[in-house]
Amino acid sequence: MREVITLGAFILLIIGTFGLLLNEFAFDLGRVATLVFAIVNLIGLATLVVTYSRMRSKGKQKEDW
């Protein structure tokens, strides 16, 4: 289950990053699109932080991934 959550977080980061880059350099969709892609990035980062902190608090090692 943790792998699925981590994969989802990375997918959110990829979508948010590419969305911001495309918005900046190709499309100029506006402020709302910029905020949406930034929020997607923040959700992805927060998910990774929570997953990492839970893994550390349970005493799991990197090899357990």
64 lies in a domain? no
Residue 2 pLDDT: 82
Residue 65 lies in a domain: no
Q: Please list the ranges in the chain whose pLDDT falls under 70.
A: 60-65
**Domain count for the chain:** 1
Do 12 and 43 contact (CB within 8 A), yes or no?
yes
Determine the pLDDT at residue 64: 55
Question: String of b and e for 18-28 (b: at least 16 CB within 10 Å)?
Answer: ebbeebeeeee
Span 24-40, pLDDT tens digits: 999 888 999 999 999 99
Q: Which two tokens stand for residue 7?
A: 């994969």
51 close to 2: Cβ distance less than 8 angstroms: yes
pLDDT of residue 65: 55
Residue 63 included in any domain: no
Structural domain range at position 43? 2-58
pTM: 0.78
Q: Does 48 reside within a domain?
A: yes
Report which of 39, 41, 54 is spatially closest to residue 1, judged by C-alpha positions: 54
